[in-house]
Structures are given as structure tokens and as C-alpha cells.
Amino acid sequence: MTFQYCNKCVMPNTKPDLSFDKEGVCDACRSAELKDTIDWNARQKEFEELVEKFRNKEGSNYDCIVPVSGGKDSHYQVYMAKKYGLNPLLVCFETNKLTPLGRKNMDNIKSAFGGSDMIVFERNPHVYKKMCFEGFKRVGDDFWPNHLGIFTVPVRLAVKLKIPLIIWGENSQLEYGGPKAARMTNVLNRRWLEEFGGLLGNRVEDMVNINGIRKEDLISYTYPSDEELKKVGITGVFLGYYFKWDARRQLEIVKRHGFKVKEDSPVEGTYVNYENLDDNLVAIHDYLKYVKFGFGRTTDLVCLDIRNNRISRAEGVELAKKYDGKVPNKAKREFLEFYGISEEEFNGVIDSFTNKAIFLIDENGNLLRDQDGNLVKRYPDYGFGIKSSVSKVAAS
Ligand SMILES: [Zn+2]
């Protein structure tokens, strides 16, 4: 394949599942255009019908489950559930290392919007940590068990507590690009999780026997059986299918309801102060994405801001150049301390996932770094239609 940046946003075509059309525009940008053609009033009516169908009329059980992390999106999900008269049960899968700001927002989400009951699922920290480290080494993603747990635990509880409706947030394929069928769906189910949940081809059963992990340690990470799902009539939907998703507009709403942003500086690796506030180690997850595919979280955010007409492409390029792909030194120090590994071991794993077709190497094949220790891109200027051979799968 050839290396190319989208003509409208700044996303490179190394992003998995992203396709470009003849005009050199990525399908996430086309999705954003599509969003302007959707009859959102009709979608809202669909949501109202859904709510009526699932509302517990006797008041003997919750109307729905809202999976939450305490972040801005989950605040918005709860806000919308309440706005449409639902009585939600909030379910949170405990994050890796909760920050003080994350704690404040977790406290806020259960008391905001009139208050909600919440279950925080506190997982076995040893099993979780072993899987994080294995995910880091094996597929270059220290948040691997998190991607799984946030999707399995709310569904397991929905089955056990007989609460059929689960209200998820954005449809990430619609917001960030992906196959057309996935962009147009309102349903999050097992198939979606396996295909798009960020599991990178690693299955939960692959973790058995890793550092003594047993099958029974993985119960909470296992999706319920089809039979169980059917019995309760589990229906998981994306709120982003029914209402036009716009993170910045939604942020202003939830801030009025007590959601706190990071006041002192942007979140490491980005130019924003409103996301990934609950866990500093997310910066490592994002950095791994950068070394594999040549774009980091800043590029994602820039692309959203361009598609929502908040900044120009030129402004986006400047932001991406300034913030994207910098080694997250603060998170790195925390990571080394948390996992008790050396910097050499850490760097070795990162380098093993770094795509040398995207970053410059010296004559001996070693990765080049600038004076701050950052990788040097082969195609740094974000011009249109830069073409060169890049192996899309070299990193995985
Ligand atoms: Zn694009």
C-alpha cells in the first residue's frame, strides 16, 4: 500500500479499517458528512419508542444499564437517560489507576442529574495487572483487559439483574471511521466487540496460564452466552445512533452538571483537558498506537475538531505536529513504577511494535530519535497524497 494523509482531516491511511475514496478523503470524514444528512428528528422518535418499549412500567426494576467510566461521555449518557425519563443503573468497570480528578468525576456522576444508583465492579487487581502487562508485551496494548471488561461486565450484570436495555455512548466506527455496515448500526453486541472492541486478535482464553491465570479468574471478562442474552432480551444500543454526537457540545452540557476538566494543563499527549482524566496510563496506550500506526490521540482529536468545523485542516496540522507522538514521560515513569520493570525493558517492547516504514532508521536499522527522545516521522509535513510503500501490518 501507499502512505497517504486524508485530504480533509489529518488521518493517515495506516489506521486499521480506514479506507480512502478516489478524492483522497477518509471514510470517517465521509461519515461526518453523512451525519449531516441523517434525519435526527426521526432518530429521536426511534429513541423515544425504544425507551417506551423497555421502560419498567411497574417500577420494580431499573429501566436500563448505563456503562460508565466517570468521563464526559458517560456523564452525557446518564444525562440523556435521565432526560428521557429512564431510571438507569450505572455500571463502572474499575480502571487501572484512578486519578484524584477521576475520583471526583466518579463521585459526581452518581449524584448528578438527580442522582443514580451505581455499581463499581472492582476486579481482582493481580489478574488484571498480569493481563495488562501481557497485553503490553503481546499485542502492544496495556489496556487490553480494560477494553474487554468495560464491555463484558455491564452485559453480564444486565443478564443477572434482568435489565435488557444497555445504553452505550458513541458509535466509534461512525466517529472515527470503519466499515459502512458498522457505521450505520445502532447495536453493540458480541460480534461488534470481537470485531471493533480493540482486542487485537487476542482472545480472553489466550490469557489462561499466563503467570498463573486460571480460567475461573476470567469470568468477568467473558461475554454471556447467546442463550443467556436471548432469555433476558439484552439490547445494547449506541446513543450516537439516535443523537448527533458532538463531544465538545456535550462537554459544555456535562460541565454545567459538575463534570470537572483538568484545569492546569492539557492531558499528556494531547491539546485538550477533557478526556482520559481518570487514568494517566492511557497515555501509554495512545503512544503505542502512535508507534504502530503513526498517529496518536492528538490526531484523533484534531480530526474530530476538523470534521465538526471547529478548526481548519491547517490549524489541525499545527496541533498534530506540536502534540502528537511525544514520548509521554510522566506516564512512562508511572508505568515503570507500577509494573516494576526497567526502562530498557519498556523501550524494548515499544521498539518491537514500532513500524520502521513510518519512522526513520539509521544505517544499522536502529530507530532514530530527536534530542527529546521522540521518533522521527518519514512523512512529517501532512501534505496531500504523499505516497510511499508502507506495510500496514508490520507492527502487529
Ligand atoms: Zn479524513
Beta strands 117-121 and 165-168: pairing type? unpaired
Q: Rounded to the nearest whole angstrom, what is the distance from the C-alpha of residue 349 to the centroid of ligand 1?
A: 30
Please name the residue that has the C-alpha cell 523501550.
Answer: 347
The CA distance from 354 to 394, in Å, is 8
Please name the residue that has the C-alpha cell 490526531.
Answer: 299
Q: Rounded to the nearest whole angstrom, what is the distance from the C-alpha of residue 313 to the centroid of ligand 1?
A: 10
Instruction: Note whether 23 and 7 are within 8 A (CB).
Output: yes
Q: What is the pLDDT of residue 38?
A: 92
The CA distance from 327 to 110, in Å, is 35
Paired residues of 68 in beta bridges: 92
Instruction: Note whether 167 and 65 are within 8 A (CB).
Output: yes
Class of domain 40-247: alpha beta
Q: Rounded to the nearest whole angstrom, what is the distance from the C-alpha of residue 5 to the centroid of ligand 1?
A: 8
Q: What is the pLDDT of residue 176?
A: 82
pTM equals 0.91
Q: Rounded to the nearest whole angstrom, what is the distance from the C-alpha of residue 16 to the centroid of ligand 1?
A: 13
- Domain residue extents for the chain: 40-247
The CA distance from 63 to 161, in Å, is 11
The CA distance from 325 to 390, in Å, is 18
Cα–Cα–Cα angle for 185, 290, 330, rounded to 5 degrees: 115
Q: Rounded to the nearest whole angstrom, what is the distance from the C-alpha of residue 22 to the centroid of ligand 1?
A: 13
Q: What is the pLDDT of residue 189?
A: 84
Residue 252, CA atoms < 13 Å, CB-side half-sphere? 3
Residue 40, CA atoms < 13 Å, CB-side half-sphere? 9
Instruction: Note whether 158 and 232 are within 8 A (CB).
Output: yes
| Alpha-carbon distances, residue 194 vs 41, 103, 188 (angstroms) | 31, 30, 10
Q: What is the pLDDT of residue 1?
A: 57
The CA distance from 267 to 87, in Å, is 33
Residue 267, CA atoms < 13 Å, CB-side half-sphere? 25
Q: Where are the beta strands (DSSP E) in the chain?
A: 64-68, 88-93, 117-121, 165-168, 235-238
Q: Rounded to the nearest whole angstrom, what is the distance from the C-alpha of residue 307 to the centroid of ligand 1?
A: 8
Q: Rounded to the nearest whole angstrom, what is the distance from the C-alpha of residue 13 to the centroid of ligand 1?
A: 9
Instruction: Note whether 115 and 145 are within 8 A (CB).
Output: no
HEC readout, 304-336: HHHHCCCCCHHHHHHHHHHHCCCCCHHHHHHHH
Q: Rounded to the nearest whole angstrom, what is the distance from the C-alpha of residue 333 to the centroid of ligand 1?
A: 34
* Helix, strand, coil percentages for the chain (3-state, nearest 5): 50, 10, 45
The CA distance from 144 to 285, in Å, is 9
Nearest to 38 by CA among 242, 203, 237, 238: 242
Paired residues of 93 in beta bridges: 121
Please name the residue that has the C-alpha cell 434525519.
Answer: 39
Q: Rounded to the nearest whole angstrom, what is the distance from the C-alpha of residue 291 to the centroid of ligand 1?
A: 20
Q: What is the pLDDT of residue 391?
A: 45
DSSP state of 65: E
Q: What is the pLDDT of residue 186?
A: 80
Q: Which residues surround ligand 1, an ion (CB under 5 A)?
A: 6, 8-9, 26, 29
Cβ-Cβ contacts under 8 Å for 134 (sequence gap 6 or more): 144, 207, 210, 211
Q: Rounded to the nearest whole angstrom, what is the distance from the C-alpha of residue 304 to the centroid of ligand 1?
A: 9
Mean pLDDT by 10 residues, the chain (396 residues): 86 90 92 91 97 95 96 97 98 90 95 97 95 94 92 96 96 81 80 79 89 96 94 95 94 96 88 87 93 94 94 94 93 95 96 94 92 88 58 40
Report, in angstroms and rounded to the nearest whole number, the Rg of the chain calculated over CA atoms: 21
Q: Is 54 left (phi over 0), alpha (psi -120 to 50) or beta?
A: alpha
Nearest to 87 by CA among 25, 161, 138, 13: 161
Buried residues in 118-130 as b, exposed as e (16+ CB within 10 A):
bbebebeeebbbb
